[in-house]
Structure 1
Amino acid sequence: MVILESILTGMTITIGAGTLLYFYQNELLYPAKYRKKSCEFDIPIFSNDGILYTEVILTTKDKVRIRAYVYKRPNDDEACKRPTVLALHGNRGSIGQRSAIVHKFYHNFKFNVVLLSYRGYGHSEGIPSEEGIKIDAQTALEYIRRHPILYGTKLILYGRSLGGAVAIDLAARNEDEINALILENTFLSIPKLLSTLFSPLKYLTFICTQIWSSDEQIGTIKKIPILFLSGKLDALVPQQQMKELYELTNTSAGKEWKEFPFGNHGNTISQLGYWIVIKEFLLWAIFDKDEGKLK
């Protein structure tokens, strides 16, 4: 009887979880609580360092107006010669929380930076979905390639968590436009992530509409150098998923793995040596290390 009750309880929990997954998966993956809160954060700007941004409204092919924030080097001649970073945030992220990213890439590395706010996040219109966010990222890429100053710059995609999946998808579909890919604490796919977080869901992942199949796409990237930044203590996205992505990568341009022993899902970016690793990766990925010039 005890065994039967346990089985019934387990079935009830699984069915309940499956029902939530089926009807509310977009809300679970792109929670409104955090998307609304993201509007409260100021866009990162450092007037003391002379960092100014331009807010642009981009209209996607499905007629959604999204926001991007462009931090261009102050001198146009310098801007067109320096790389550009397209930063892609996580599912609970806010571009207003990307101060460290802007400061390091813009102030320390002297790069141009573009922050994208997905549909439904910050002040962008629309409702987030896998299909929609992929369109948003493509729209941002096309904006950069049409920009009168940034169009010819080396382009680096930097994605954390969900942003890593967005970056992988964008790179896989636009390999000739991307020069380097930086991924932090991202996952194999949503079905595989859900199976890890709650094992009974492995029998219900067929009902997922949000897939983000990075495990399938990353192997199609053949000529972009990729850096993997992994927090060993990540409890949300198990490190094993990052390791498997690394193993699935077969780019001829080279790949690099860096583990941070005390990094979790949220604080890996603040771990000692994080930005040093990125700098050293970029030296061989897009620069001539001996001369410090772009390849």
Structure 2
Amino acid sequence: MAQMITMLCIVIHFYLWGKRIIIFFPLKMKIKKSIHLIHLKMVLLESILMGTTIAIGGGSLLYYYQNELLYPAKYRKKSREFIVPKFSEEEIPYTEVILTTKDKVRIRAYLCKRKNDEEACQRPTVLALHGNRGNIGKQSSIARNFYHNLKCNIMLLSYRGYGSSDGIPSEEGIKIDAQTALDYIKQHPILHDTKLILYGSSLGGAVAIDLAAKNEDEVDALIVENTFLSIPKLLPTFFSPLKYITFICTQIWPSDEQIKKIKKIPILFLSGKLDALVSQQQMKELYELSNTLAGKEWKEFPYGNHGNTITQPCYWNVIEEFLLWAIFDKNNKKEMNN
């Protein structure tokens, strides 16, 4: 139906364009007020129809292709070339884990556990959730810093349709994947009682917020970087007329609503000031919407953009300091460094 309406608008548009040309020549010969008025009305009508065409056409694309736009196949296909992080080069022990979700999709993750089981059960465990264009194969720096510098266990999840995981990505599906990974950690014979930290960037931040909101008793800290309020609120920042058709979005990721449900988990907000993809204002609003009783912290990186905030000076120092007060005894900071 939407395609038919779009085509109809285009036909009317060209019809009116032809009428305008026919009227133009008599105007040069003899200008008449009435003809001017007709011409003006046609131009106005044409503008309205053209705007309608763009809106409906854009709406059609958004409705039928939003999954491809949000979880682009080009990058998902490319991500399969970088499936395994360079664990050997980083001297990080790892185990490939294959999980089956409740909707029978096989997804993969890499678990990097401390070498000594006694140490592993005493250190925090990080569940890392990647953005829409990446996968765990490109998260070697995250694994390195959490494992070597912060002495954490870390699990890197690959959503359905990414890396070597089966299936097709969707909001509902990725939420199931994240819950499956959390359940695995909580049922792990060594890691089940460790402090659990959720870490997510961009789309991964939305995944982490949703997961934390639904598992407050299981999660001990939340770290989000350069994420958004929701997809309907993000789209108009790219093209303002899209605000009129966001009601057709099927992929919502309502972090603005989910963040308000988190009451008992400390949250760290990491924001790149130069982020041109997700406006920093969206992160600021998420911070303001958060009303956790466990404390929240805001850190801005003046030269950070959407992709390089993680490389900014003091990025990992900020995370370490956050974990010291959020996870460990503030008066025993040596615990993080032993």
The residue that corresponds to 1:134 in the other structure is 175
The residue that corresponds to 2:205 in the other structure is 164
The residue that corresponds to 2:231 in the other structure is 190
- What is the one-letter code of the residue matched to 2:152? F
- Equivalent residue of 2:92, what SS? coil
The residue that corresponds to 2:312 in the other structure is 271
Distance 1:127 1:172 in 2: 24
Cα drift, residue 123 of structure 1: 0.4
Distance 1:126 1:132 in 2: 9
RMSD: 1.3
**1:107-162 per-position Cα deviation (integer Å, ceiling 9, x unaligned):** 11110000000000000000000000000000000000011111110000000000
- Equivalent residue of 1:102, what SS? helix
Distance 2:243 2:182 in 1: 35
8 Å Cα contact 1:119/1:127 also seen in 2: yes
Distance 1:125 1:263 in 2: 33
8 Å Cα contact 2:231/2:252 also seen in 1: yes
Distance 1:198 1:47 in 2: 44
Unmatched 5+ stretches in structure 1? none
- What is the one-letter code of the residue matched to 2:128? A
Larger deviation: 6-15 or 48-57?
6-15
The residue that corresponds to 2:143 in the other structure is 102
Distance 2:276 2:48 in 1: 27
8 Å Cα contact 1:230/1:258 also seen in 2: yes
Larger deviation: 196-205 or 118-127?
196-205
- What is the one-letter code of the residue matched to 1:233? L
Within the alignment, does 1:120 sit opposite 2:149 as a pair? no
Distance 2:80 2:171 in 1: 21
Unmatched 5+ stretches in structure 2? 1-39
> Where does structure 1 differ by over 4 angstroms across 4 or more consecutive aligned residues?
1-6
Distance 2:47 2:275 in 1: 31
8 Å Cα contact 1:45/1:53 also seen in 2: no
8 Å Cα contact 1:38/1:96 also seen in 2: yes
- Equivalent residue of 1:175, what SS? coil
Distance 1:26 1:47 in 2: 35
- Equivalent residue of 1:152, what SS? coil
Distance 1:134 1:46 in 2: 27
Distance 1:272 1:13 in 2: 44
The residue that corresponds to 1:46 in the other structure is 87
Cα drift, residue 48 of structure 1: 5.0
The residue that corresponds to 1:230 in the other structure is 271
Pairing 1:1-295 to 2, within 5 Å after superposition: 1=40, 4-47=45-88, 49-292=90-333, 293=335
**1:218-266 per-position Cα deviation (integer Å, ceiling 9, x unaligned):** 0110010000000111111101000000000000100000111111111
Q: TM-score, normalised by structure 2?
A: 0.85
Larger gyration radius, structure 1 or structure 2 = 2
Distance 2:90 2:56 in 1: 54
Q: TM-score, normalised by structure 1?
A: 0.97
**1:164-204 per-position Cα deviation (integer Å, ceiling 9, x unaligned):** 00000000000000000000000000000012211111111
How much identity, in percent, do the aligned residues show? 78
8 Å Cα contact 1:55/1:70 also seen in 2: yes
- Equivalent residue of 1:69, what SS? strand
Aligned residues: 294
